[in-house]
Amino acid sequence: MDVLVIGGNRYIGKRLIALLRESGHRVTVLNRGSSPAPEGIEQLVADRDDEKALASVLAGRSFDVVVDQVCYTPRQAEIARRVFATRTRRYVMTSTVEVYAYEDSAEPVAESALDLAAVTVDTGLPWEDPEFLDAHYGEGKRQAEAVFAAGTPFAWASVRVAHVLGGADDFTGRLDHYARRVRAGEPIAVPVVNHPASYVYVEEIAAFLAWAVRADFTGPVNAHSPSPLTTADLCAEIEKLVGGRTVFREVEVGEVSPFSFARSYGMSNARAASLGYSFPDSGEWLAKAVSETLGAER
């Protein structure tokens, strides 16, 4: 198949491209040109926010599947819906657990918990402002999904990715935050009631996206490992690797550490299972993921 990956320069994307290539697909990458595509992969350069430029670079091109790694706003979704209307038969958008920001359920949240038809889409918000976009990440993804769900000329699916762990190239610095404090025995701020959350190994989410390219499901699907993890679970693995001692400091208000949550962040992966995909339990890969990211901390 001919597959276009929008974004894909780092982390999950580069693993996805490698898997697609190994499976024999013809892969093309579209990005702004700030970094080159992997060797042997065709690269198209355009700003996805510039509809005219995007349509121009895609002139005369079509793809069996598009995997959109960097659709963050409803404006971007509307541009994509128009530009790819006659250029693909299937569109897979990488979304996020953050679309469930308004949910707080003791039970794992299923895809149906979010009614995309009821989501208000507002393209007039300052989505081009990086600070606004960062502060409204989940809302941007939710509205982008709603744009596609309202109707597309191609088959559309969204993959709601849990919190991702693993890889020496993890650029978030979140595990480093813990490693520094655990090693020094410094307090780690957490909510008074600190809920577990769903996670996924970086290699596994890349594999799932590659699987989604070949699949034919539509609509949203949660993507994560069974068995949610707590902040304590993460810190226990970090202690094994770097030594030190975990000290939690409960706070009623104020900023807390990453991967600590005042509300439930657990998703259900029943739909993924019903579609025929089985995620490994988080206990099977957690130690490896922590070691990969913090290997230099030994």
* 129 close to 114: Cβ distance less than 8 angstroms: no
* 143 close to 124: Cβ distance less than 8 angstroms: no
SS3 of residue 43 by DSSP: strand
* 33 close to 43: Cβ distance less than 8 angstroms: yes
Give the number of residues written for the chain.
298
SS3 of residue 253 by DSSP: coil
- What residue type is assigned to position 53 of the chain? A
pLDDT of residue 252: 87
SS3 of residue 113 by DSSP: helix
Query: Which residue ranges make up each domain of the chain?
Result: 2-164+198-223, 167-197+227-268+280-297
- In sequence order, the β-bridge partners of residue 271 are none
Count CB-CB contacts under 10 A for residue 250: 12
- What residue type is assigned to position 236 of the chain? A
Give the mean pLDDT per block of 10 residues along the chain (298 residues): 92 95 96 85 95 97 97 98 97 97 87 96 96 96 98 97 96 93 96 94 98 97 96 96 95 88 90 97 96 76
In this prediction the pTM is 0.95
Q: What is the topology classification, in CATH, of domain 2-164+198-223?
A: Rossmann fold (3.40.50)
Helix ranges, 215-269 (H) = 231-242
pLDDT of residue 298: 42
Which H/E stretch holds residue 200?
strand 199-201
* 93 close to 157: Cβ distance less than 8 angstroms: yes
SS3 of residue 107 by DSSP: coil
pLDDT of residue 39: 84
The class that CATH gives domain 167-197+227-268+280-297 is alpha beta
In whole angstroms, give the CA distance from residue 188 to residue 175.
12
